[in-house]
Structures are given as structure tokens and as C-alpha cells.
Structure 1
Amino acid sequence: MRLFGLILIAAASLVPLIWFAPLAAERDPVAVFSQYIGSAALILMGINQFIATRAPGLETVFGPLDRIYVLHKWLGVIAMVCLGLHDIIDAEMNGLRGGPLAGIAEDIGEVSLYGLLILVLASVITFIPYHLWKWSHRLIGIFFFMGAFHYFFIEKPFSNFDPLGLYVSAFCVLGLVSYVWMSLLRPMAPRGHGYKVSSVRHLGGLTEVELQPKGRGLKHKPGQFAFLAVKGSGLSEEHPFTLSSAPRDDRSLRFSVKDLGDYTRRLRRELKEGMEATVSGPFGHFSMPSGRDPQVWIGAGVGITPFLAFAESLKSADAGTVKLYYCVRERDDIPYAMDLERLAEEVGNLELVIVNSNEGVRLTPERIEADLGGGLRQAHVFFCGPVAMRKALKSGLVLKGLRASRFHFEEFEMRTGIGLNALAAWIWDKGIYAFEKRRAAKTQPAE
């Protein structure tokens, strides 16, 4: 996530204070604060609807798209906190004249609040099936429209045509236009590059899809991802997957898709050679640096896919020594091991190390440091895999001398929660501890 983009969002939500501060001196400051919080929530939601469009230039301002997904989640959470405060803190003021729709706007605002609250909670509770989450997520724009209606017609100490009113209205319009574009207009005119499925292979739990361009095709860098949509057979909804091949002269592409959910299982069953597809992108800034500094690549499970593209690109890259750790649970769950071993023999500067956890082997910061001969300070580390593993390795490697800016990763899970599972586990542990403590106190013999 880029600091510049975060500053822009913060500034956009703070600008209304220029107009709300004088109002607080003239009217009930608590009610004015409540109205400011409600306006800030609309501004954040309008921005959130816009960044969901994946419009060109967003990655320049906010960072790689995988980080934008994280930003999108947290903007939604912060907006809901603001709406909750707006609802709790009384925003009514004396001496205001409401229009004929003020009463209706009040009721619609309540519906909008609770509808958004339910949908945002559904977004961060990750055990809800993806297809249900995706369907419900589309309704957020409708409740946002209701929130904008509430703002336009509710009683407030300024006009919609005042500078403050126009400013907040602009973000409401931005959000509504973005929602209409994504829900209605974009599906009628899908963007992207036309492709045809040239081959489908099943490699253990992976579905490997090779695509040939129908036109000029997509140009990408190793490690980037793109959105794939297949025409027909219920596979037309876009889904993001890492491009597991290096750029080719004919711009053909390869995706290696893990069977993790309803869509990917359906893709495995129904995708056939000759089917037409649309690929949009590419996205992401997960790419190799220039120079000959040593590199460490860590791919866990399906997280190996960007490193397949990295390894293929070494044939034409002037890179230093590369050590690739392929972390798996089962010896049979390494479909690309032979391809990587062949590439390691061809390029010479790539060493493949398979780390099999079922054999009692774990990848640790100590092992990486030892394998590099203590040269962590000069190294670049690239990681793609589970979040817990990433955090453990990064913290350990930084403590041993790796520069934090040289630990590169992409968000392996774009749909993430907000720590509810960890919070529930903590509460459970504390409850069990308190229960055991009380029971021990009751059973302790009196002196």
C-alpha cells in the first residue's frame, strides 16, 4: 500500500472539517460531530466503490492490486465504525427545516445502516462460502445508494448546494457511478484480451490451463496475476489467478489453479480445450529486482506459481544466485518439481530445495541464514504462501539482518477477515483459564 494514497484518503475525509468547525461554534457541537462522522463515512464508501472498479492508474496511487484489496476491506470496516458512531450520537438539531422527504430519508438511513452492517460483517467472516459472499457483496451498492438518499434529503445545517454539500455529494456520485459501472455497464462491455484454451492438464490438485491469444494478447511481467473469465459453463465470472509462465513471444499464457473452492472445482470439471476466455490485467508488482544480489524465493503449496514464471525468466535475466524453497506437505503434492529441477540445470544459478513438512522438515530463518552463508543483508527474499508462515519468516529474517524493504510478498488470500477467529480463540482461552482457576480455588483444601 502506498503512503501517498493513504494520505489522499485521509485528507479527503478530513477536508469537511473546514466547514463543520464553524458550524460547531454556532450549533450543538455534538450533533455537528455526528453529522461530520456520517459525511466522512459516505466519503470513504464513495472512494471504496471507486477503487473496486480496478480503474487504470489505481495501482500507481494506492499500490499493487493485492494490497488494494486489503485497503478495500479496511475502508469498509472504518466506514461502518463511522456509521455506527453517527447512529449512536444524536445528530438532530433545533431550528432546522426539513423537506417533504426528510422523514422518509430518516427511515431509509436506518435501513442503509443495518444493511451495510450485515454485509460488511459477511465480508470479514471468512467461513461464509465464497459464492454467497460474492452475491451478497453486490448489494452493498444498493445500501450505499440508500445512504446517499438519506444524506441528500435529511435535515442538516447546510444546503446540498453549499461548498460542504457539493463536496460530500461529489463522493456520493463517485460511488454511485462506480457501482453502476461495475454492476450494469461493465458486464455488457467486458474489457480484456480474448484467448482460446489450448490445453488443460490436471496435476494432482492443480488445473493447468494454457491459453493462446486471439488477438495481440496480454503483456505481463513474471510474478503478476490477471483475471480469468471463461465463456459459458458457469465460468464467466472473473477470478484472479497468478500467471505461472514467463512472458512469451506469442503472448500465450499459463495459469496453474489450485482446487480451493466452488469456482476452481467447477473449472477443473468443466474447462475444455477450445473454449473461449477473456483475460484482463495484468496486476501486481511482485517482480524480480535488477542486479546480481542473492535472492531467496519461498513458495508454499500453490504459492509456487509465481516462481515458475520467475524461474523461466532466468533464462534471459542477468541475475545473481537464487535459492528456491518449495514448501509442501506431501511428497506427491509437488507437480512442478521436475520442471523446476530441469530449469535449475539449464540456468545454472538456480538451486531448488524441497521442504517437506511431513518428513519433519521446516523452513526456518536460521536455515535460510545458514544456506546463504550469513549474507542476509544483501539478499532479496520473495515469499508467496500462507500469512502466518510469511509473518513468522519475515520477523525472524529481519531480526537476523534482512532489510524489511527487501522482503517481498503478495497477498496470498485476498479475502481476509479482521482477526475475528483469533479474537474468539483468545476469549475462549481466557474463559477456560478463568474457569480452571475458579475450579482449582473451590477444590483447594482449607487450611
Structure 2
Amino acid sequence: MKNIKLSLLALFVGLSLLWLLADDMLSVPYALFPLRASLINYTGVLAMGAMSVGMLLAIRPRRIEPFLGGLDKSYRLHKWLGISALVLSIVHWLWAQGVKWLVGWGWLEKPARKAAAATAEPSPIADFLRSQRGLAEDLGEWAFYASVVLIVLALLKHFPYRWFFKTHRLLAIVYLVLVFHSVVLMKTAYWSSPIGPLMALLMLAGSVAAGISLLRRVGHSRRVVGNIETLELHPDNRVLGVGIQLQGSWAGHQAGQFAFVTFDPAEGPHPFTISSAWHDDGRLRFHIKGIGDYTASLPQTLKVGDPVTVEGPYGRFDFGGTQPRQIWVAGGIGITPFIARLQALAQQPDQRPVDLFYSTAEPDQEFIQRLNALAERAQVKLHVLVSGRDGRLNAERLCQQVPEWRDASMWFCGPAGFGQALRQDLVARGLAVADFHQELFDMR
């Protein structure tokens, strides 16, 4: 999360400083309308910068993932860039339209427009851009309205994923319209200062990313087709085990990574953690919790032999580090990355002692028995807590169960609130922030 905050700070501070170098706001006497013009340009630069980086992250670039700590963190940055762009674009629109309203109501008087300064050499490019200003303003306004609706829909947790998947791609079209709006209306002086080439580079990268999204080529090189080989339902905790036999070449994965799985092209890909270690046999396994309408319907809709597309692997939840022991904490279906790691340890043991805490509100005895047997083979100490019977796991109980917790790295996968409470309490007790590793449970 630290790198997410640093990335946001670096982007907005960097753009702000370069904008100040290009704009004359600080060098002219204060007046409302020149200030308005400067702030319209400033909020436009920041909004387009945020949208451009967000568009680039949407295509899941490999090289950015290690810096941010995994694709789940990349998508969290993507989300905050979207929120930032939404707020900035609203402020941009209010400065553009609000003052016009005040003039129309007679509350402000618009100063007379100054005659344009003559240029030594006419520029065909500048003349063309000036001729497009009216169109750019109109298209930009409608694109703003569309972006507000689409971003708000994306932030609504109860908006169905199927429709989120379809509507969110429309933002690529909106973005391309806003690129045209920005290129035409950006202050001419900006193009001859560092902010101009930087914005051009950001918008070019964002436009390429938008094209990749619209052509449905996101993650294309990482896609492998296969078929469902096995289905196993654990009814007590509403978890479906899905075994897949891949037909193409899979690059292999590390325990703890996830993949985007498409069972139904109309629904689109969903991210699921891989719950099997890699045996170089083309087989993958997933454990899918019936949480929403779609995942709850999978036991009825999936059949052995159905075609599947798998894209990945992604993620940096890799159980690395130099600490002499590890503590794993799984909340509900967050057990899946630990199952994969248990399988890997059963094949290739690690000398470090490991404690696995599995907290569940819906225990399935057969599932727990298998988990216990797997933990024994992996030489991992399993602690099962049923929340209705044993209460919720907290830092105090964890530290009592593992007195050597200060020498351990913590690996958590589960509901965000559970992880945040556990992390804060452990850090307050002396655990280093860098020693608490968390897979973000929700990437929307």
C-alpha cells in the first residue's frame, strides 16, 4: 500500500510542479477570470494525467506489477486514480461552467476579450486546433457526463459484475474523446514547456492502452484455453472446487498467485486464486466461494468438459522473505493461496516452522479434514477457528498461540476489515509493517 500512496503523490506533485513552470498564474495580478482559466487548465492536466495512468494500468502491464507488489495492488491504484480523476474532472467542470452561470445570472461581469496577439509565422497546426475548439468543448462536456456515470457505476459494490465488465470498457471510448478535448484545448504555451511533452506521452500511452482494451487484447499473451476436468461441491461452506485441464502452454505459477478465469464469455473473466501447486502437468485447481449471484450459480451451471479460458498467472503473494518462521491467516475463502502453498511444501519441505490459522463462519468438516491432512504432510501447524463457536481471531489470541510471533512474517488473505484490524493490532504490538503481507480480497 505504501507504493500506491507514493505513486499517487509522485504523479500529482510532479504534474503540479511542471504545470507551475508552464503557467503564468503566479506572475500576474489576481483577477477571477485569469485565475479561472489557470485552474481549468490545472485540473484538466491532473485529471487527464490520472486517467492516462489508470488506463495504462487497466491492461495489466507486467513491468509495473513488481513495483506495486502485485496486480491486486495495481488495481487498487487504478481505483484511486479513477476516484481522483472523477473529483478533479468535477472541479474542472465547475470552474468551466459555474462562472458562466454566474455571468448569465448577472452576478459577475465578464471582461472584454483581448485581441489575439499577432504571430510572426502562421502555424497550420495551431490554426487547425483553434478551428476545433467548439467541437472539443462540446465533446468534452458530454464525455465528462459519461465518465461520471461510468466511474460511479464501477464504484457501486452492488452493481452486477457482468454489467460492470461491459460498461467499464466504455471508459476507453470516453478517454479517447477526452484526449481530443485535451489536445485541442490545452494552453498553447504548455506545449513548449516540459508539461506538454509529458502530457503528450501520457495520453499516447493511454490511447494505446484504450485501443488494446477496445480490441479485447488485454492479457492476450497470457491466455490459455482448457476444459473443466473435475467439479467438487462443499455445501456446508458453499465452496466449489474446479479442476481444469489446460490445452495450451501454461508458464507455470507460484503458490499464492491468481488467474482470471472465463467460464462464460458473456460474463467475462473473474479473478480467482489458484489453489493448487504447479506440477507441470497442465492442471489447475480453483476453490470458488458462492458469494455473489454469479459464483453462487456456478454449481448449477458448470459441467465437466465445459470450455474455460485462463489468463495469468498474476500476483506477488509468494511467501518469500528471510524471517525464520511464518504465520499464515486465512479468512473464509482466503484459504485458497495457502492450500496451494501447502501442496508445494508437501513436495518440497521448508525448514521454517509455519502456523496456519483458518477462521471460518461456515465449517465444512470434509474440507477441514482434507486441509488438516494436507497440513500434516506439509509439516504446518493448523489452527481452525469457527467464529460462531470460538470467536473471531485477533492479535492477542494469535500472539498467545505463537509466542515467537516477533520472529515471523505474517501472510494474510481474507476480508479487508479482518485484515486491517489484525494488521493494526500486530503493528501496535511491535510487528514491522513490512512483515505483514496481505492479498487484497476485492479488486473493484
TM over 0.5: yes
Aligned partner of 1:325: which letter? F
**CA pair 203-172 structure 1, distance change in 2 beyond 3 A:** same
Q: Counterpart of 1:246 in 2: which secondary structure? A: coil
**CA pair 114-409 structure 1, distance change in 2 beyond 3 A:** same
Aligned to 2:19: 17
Give the Cα–Cα distance (whole angstroms) in 2 for the partners of residues 248 and 96 of structure 1.
74
Query: Which sits farther off after the overlay, 109-118 or 379-388?
Result: 109-118
Is residue 38 of structure 1 aligned with residue 51 of structure 2? Answer: no
Aligned to 1:406: 435
Task: Decide which of 238, 250, 255 is 1:217's aligned counterpart.
Answer: 250
Aligned to 1:442: none
Which consecutive unaligned segments of at least 5 residues does structure 2 have?
101-110, 117-128
**CA pair 201-169 structure 1, distance change in 2 beyond 3 A:** same
**CA pair 25-335 structure 1, distance change in 2 beyond 3 A:** farther
Aligned to 2:305: 274
Aligned partner of 2:353: which letter? T
Aligned partner of 2:156: which letter? I
Give the Cα–Cα distance (whole angstroms) in 2 for the partners of residues 60 and 295 of structure 1.
22
Aligned to 2:158: 127
Cα deviation 1:305-360 (Å, max 9, x = unaligned): 1111121122213232222111111333x553112211233233x11111111214
Aligned partner of 2:40: which letter? S
Give the Cα–Cα distance (whole angstroms) in 1 for the partners of residues 427 and 130 of structure 2.
60
CA contact (8 A) 2:15 2:195 kept: no
Give the Cα–Cα distance (whole angstroms) in 2 for the partners of residues 215 and 166 of structure 1.
42
Task: Decide which of 198, 202, 217 is 1:171's aligned counterpart.
Answer: 202
Q: Map residues 325-340 of structure 1 onto 2, 5 A cutoff.
A: 325-332=357-364, 336-340=367-371
Cα deviation 1:114-156 (Å, max 9, x = unaligned): 2212222222221222223222212222222222222233374
Query: Which sits farther off after the overlay, 1-10 or 246-255?
Result: 1-10
Task: Decide which of 366, 383, 391 is 1:361's aligned counterpart.
Answer: 391
How far the C-alpha of 1:160 sits from its partner, in A, is 6.0
- Equivalenced residues, count: 410
Give the CA RMSD over aligned residues: 2.8
Cα deviation 1:367-397 (Å, max 9, x = unaligned): 1111112x22111111111111111111112
Give the Cα–Cα distance (whole angstroms) in 2 for the partners of residues 280 and 274 of structure 1.
19
Which consecutive unaligned segments of at least 5 residues does structure 1 have?
416-447
Aligned to 1:321: 353
Query: Which sits farther off after the overlay, 310-319 or 3-12?
Result: 3-12
Q: TM-score, normalised by structure 1?
A: 0.83
Q: Map residues 271-420 of structure 1 onto 2, 5 A cutoff.
A: 271-291=302-322, 293-315=324-346, 316-332=348-364, 336-348=367-379, 350-373=380-403, 375-415=404-444
Q: TM-score, normalised by structure 2?
A: 0.83
Q: Counterpart of 2:260 in 1: which secondary structure? A: strand
CA contact (8 A) 2:165 2:268 kept: no
**CA pair 119-96 structure 1, distance change in 2 beyond 3 A:** farther
Query: Which sits farther off after the overlay, 153-162 or 350-359?
Result: 153-162
Q: Counterpart of 2:268 in 1: which secondary structure? A: coil
Aligned partner of 1:84: which letter? I
CA contact (8 A) 1:242 1:306 kept: yes
Give the Cα–Cα distance (whole angstroms) in 1 for the partners of residues 340 and 299 of structure 2.
22
